[in-house]
Amino acid sequence: MVQVDEKERIRIAHILQGMSIREIARVMGHSRKTVRKALEDPSPPVYRRTKPPAEPVIGPVREIIGRWIEEDLDRPKKQRHTAHRIYERLRGEHGFTGAESTVRRYVRSLRGKKAETFIPLCFDPGQDAQADFGGAAVIMDGREMEIQLFMMRLSYSHRPFVMALPFQKQEAFLAAHVRAFDFFGGVPRRISYDNLTAATARALRGDKRREIDSFVAFRSHYLFASHFCNPGEPHEKGQIENLVGYVRRNWLVPLPRVKDLGELNAYLLRKCLEEDRHVVSGMKASIGEMFAEEKPRCLRDCPASVSRYLMPRTSTDCSSEAPDEPVGHAASGIPEEAAASGGSGELREDGRRCGRKPAWVCGVPAASDRG
């Protein structure tokens, strides 16, 4: 390959000194074709591969990655493989020993996407949590179906809580809060939401909302402040938005096969606890270590009982009735069996209780049951 300084000598000899191409080729030891190329293009030479480079690391798994990405076309858009999930599956299922960055580069080349950038936000311990719902697909009892995932994340330690529910009704929304507080062992000072209908009756100007009375009574009892993000501004609660996608693409890919919501919730609880070992980029320690710092000093203790006036209970004959006296968490608008590890009564999709502990609560034990 003729370098740029050699090109300069060729051009000077031909243009300024009047030497012919044949003479330049003989004197300088180049072919006449090379001399002509140097006269046509004085720019530095560009190396061009004649064949693709060898890929000893990614080469053996290229077809596997391509097949997974192709299969994703038939899956829900929000529940497809990320590069990180592909890397995890390659390690666990195919003994892949390469670096995650290698997988990311290859997946990015297939999808034609640029690498994402993030601006980290800082929170004081116990200051804030973020909560949201997200839909996901699972294979339950042999059928693919859509379920609702309630998620809450502590903003300082990034510790997540995820619970599968059959619907987004307020009773499930509040029951999931109680479970989350129990899982964390305390209540954060503030929780950020978007425009969840389980909490808000009407959106006002900016981040102001007219909240549903039963939700106001619920947060008044637990003494946390609510914050509502501006419509169309998901970055205002970026941690929970990221968690929704992270759970779909890492915990629920490929689609988990479970018997019922109880089995699914047991699986989700294990995944939440496994996150304690994870170190989030930019954090000084693991999620578990950060949570150990956050919990004893900054999370408010959960109250022992709840006001009886938040929402009427349901009786075992499936008819609504107001309780005669407070019965722990049950009178909060959360069915007793949804808020405590024991109890009886099945909560049907219409919100009535009859007979057994509901499957959507099973698998999310209270702190006393976890030891």
pLDDT tens for each residue of 106-158: 898 888 755 455 555 677 888 899 999 999 999 999 999 999 999 999 999 99
Confidence of residue 240 (pLDDT cuts 50, 70, 90): confident
Please give the pLDDT value at position 45: 74
Phi and psi based region of residue 232 (left: phi greater than 0; alpha: psi -120 to 50; beta: remaining): left
Please give the pLDDT value at position 43: 80
Domains (ranges, CATH) in the chain? Answer: 4-40 (no CATH), 59-111 (no CATH), 126-371 (3.30.420.10)
pTM of this structure: 0.58
Q: Is the dihedral of CA 129, 135, 139, 143 positive or negative?
A: positive
β-strand 143-154 against 160-165: which pairing, if any? antiparallel
Q: Given a cut of 80, is residue 225 above it in pLDDT?
A: yes
Please give the Cα distance from 303 to 46 (Å, whole number). 71
Please give the pLDDT value at position 110: 85
Please give the Cα distance from 173 to 197 (Å, whole number). 10
What residues contact residue 25 under an 8 Å CB cut-off, 6+ apart? 31, 32, 34, 35
146: number of CA atoms within 13 Å, CB side? 8
CB atoms within 10 A of CB 204: 10
Confidence of residue 309 (pLDDT cuts 50, 70, 90): very low
User: For residue 130, what are the β-bridge partners?
Assistant: 153, 192
Confidence of residue 200 (pLDDT cuts 50, 70, 90): low
Give 115-125 pLDDT, tens digit per residue: 455 555 677 88
